[in-house]
Amino acid sequence: MLKVELTLRNFHEQDAATRYCYLLADGTQSPTLRLNPGDLLILTLKNELTNEPAAPEPNAAAPEPNAAAPEPKVAARQPLDPCRSGLMAPTSTNLHFHGLSVPPVCHQDEVLKTSIQPGDPPFEYRVRIPANQPPGLYWYHPHIHGFSNAQVLGGASGALIVEGLERVNPQTAGLPERVLVIRDQDLLNPAAPPSKFEPVVPKMLIDRDGDSANNGTGFGKPAKDLSVNYVAVPYPDYPPSGLRMKPGERELWRVLNASSVTYLNLAVLFDRAAQQLGIVAIDGVPLNENGDPKNAVVWRDHVGMPPGSRAEFILSAPAAGATGLLVTRTVDTGQGGENDPNRALLALIPAADAPHANSALPDRASLPARLKPPALAALPWLGNVPPVRVRKLYFSEKLQDPADPNSATTFYLTVDGQTPAPFDPGSDAANIVVKQGEVEDWIIENRSTELHAFHIHQLHFLVMDASGTPVDEPFLKDTVNVPYYNATMLQYPSVRLRMDFRGPNTVGTFAYHCHLLEHEDGGMMGRIRVLPANASSD
């Protein structure tokens, strides 16, 4: 059992930015939670958020939430039932355990109705990690519709590790481990020109979200700054902090892209040469989860990570005298997307006296060297189960004033055949109803000119094909990028996902959405109801 008492606080900066952080009583910020399969997590969350102080001018760049959020009534406030109120206000909060197959019910992993207000007593989460939860990196963050972006962008997120990777993948046994949480935030130096060391100076464009638009060069002002374990690496010069490593030592890096909108394309450079990264797990699931030993370690010189995703990989520290750099390379997010340019994240500094346990980024431990056998998978491999039906969903966007390219955008995630509508937090109607035990194929199409990241709560899926071409990725994900459309294409890009509703913990009502949180808050979300296997089907 792991007992944790978290307090969520915010701090209003003078530049109108608001920072958010989970705190333990001893001041630890957004702790990494470590649990074994079968463990019980008892987490109490105290909401100490405060409203924005009165500002002389409203921040014109702040995205308008799609649904008009009622302000909490100050006078004679009746205590609201945190399990039922569904109040979506700037100071409301709750928790989502991203990637865990735990039930979508209140006090566990329910986010559509659960809402905790400032002044409420500490709210208790009791989450049993399933015995068959794959070992790897998961995370927790708030999920209040309309305000997820502000809270996560401000820093409200933390890592959660399900222990036991070495049981599934013996090549990771005994490796020193680092947890890197990469977050994005509003630019610290928004008025600065690009660094004079950049080879091109692209024209500045603003996209529909009010962020720096993709200019296609790999340079220029990013939409957001990035930070590594809360250490910002700001535009325009991206000064990386230093990570001291024992020369040549192999380590396991567990990387979370906790960004609100920023895509990552990670590479590790030694004297400018991209190094091989031994990927062992994606989205918390070992690549050899299906028992195929050839997928135990997949070597690549870069790792693409949409917002919300995780990658765990083996790498070797630079040799003595060499220099290393963790970078994210530019991601082409589409004509309508944000600018995600090339930038440094972390300098890797070989040092014989580098501490093992208490480095500049303190979150480091070692995996056990002693092997215990993994729990046997109880169900047939998802890729071998034929789907009972196929559905198509599509991402789309609409300018509220089609004549004005700078007008606000509405974001849709629509089940094909239904009328596009932004997510309605006040409704109980499910867009999709399935029965526990079923397996479906979902084709997720992108009809917009920017990338979207499809995510569903409670379960993992398998990517079967991309725009009709089979994909050989025999491992599970909970977040997947969907390529953007442009007018020269003959069809909308898509991915085909094998959706697994076999787990008993999928029963209930939960969300699927785009994990670019500006889009989710703007309406790009839907509701699915999974009925018990024995429910009558009328």
Which spans of this chain sit near Cu ion (rule: CB under 5 A)?
452, 514, 516, 519
Instruction: Report, in Å, the least distance between residue 213 CB and Cu ion.
Output: 15
Helix (H) or strand (E) holding 153: helix 148-153
Give the burial string for 268-285 (b: 16+ CB within 10 Å, else e).
bbbeeeebebbbbbbbbb
Nearer to Cu ion (CB atom), residue 64 or residue 124: 64
Q: Please return the burial class of 196, using the count of CB atoms within 10 Å of its CB with bins 0-12, 13-18 and 19+.
A: exposed
Nearer to Cu ion (CB atom), residue 30 or residue 259: 259
Nearer to Cu ion (CB atom), residue 324 or residue 493: 493
Nearer to Cu ion (CB atom), residue 63 or residue 164: 63
Nearer to Cu ion (CB atom), residue 176 or residue 522: 522
- As a dihedral over the C-alpha atoms of residue 218, residue 222, residue 225, residue 229, rounded to 10 degrees, the angle is -30
Nearer to Cu ion (CB atom), residue 178 or residue 208: 208
Instruction: Report, in Å, the least distance between residue 143 CB and Cu ion.
Output: 15
d(CA 382, CA 500): 7
Task: State the SS3 of 209-278.
Answer: CCCEECCCCCCCCCCCEEEECCEEECCCCCCCEEEEECCCCEEEEEEEECCCCCCEEEEEEECCEECCEE
Query: For residue 487, what are its two tokens?
Result: 């007018």
Query: For residue 161, what are its two tokens?
Result: 């590790």
**What is the bridge-based pairing of β-strands 432-435 and 525-531?**
parallel
CA distances from 29 to 35, 111, 121, 230, 306 (A): 18, 23, 21, 9, 24
Instruction: Report, in Å, the least distance between residue 532 CB and Cu ion.
Output: 32
Nearer to Cu ion (CB atom), residue 438 or residue 521: 521
Instruction: Report, in Å, the least distance between residue 534 CB and Cu ion.
Output: 36
| Strand, helix or coil for residue 456 | strand
d(CA 248, CA 398): 51
Instruction: Report, in Å, the least distance between residue 448 CB and Cu ion.
Output: 8
Nearer to Cu ion (CB atom), residue 229 or residue 396: 396
Instruction: Report, in Å, the least distance between residue 356 CB and Cu ion.
Output: 41
Instruction: Report, in Å, the least distance between residue 338 CB and Cu ion.
Output: 10
Instruction: Report, in Å, the least distance between residue 20 CB and Cu ion.
Output: 21
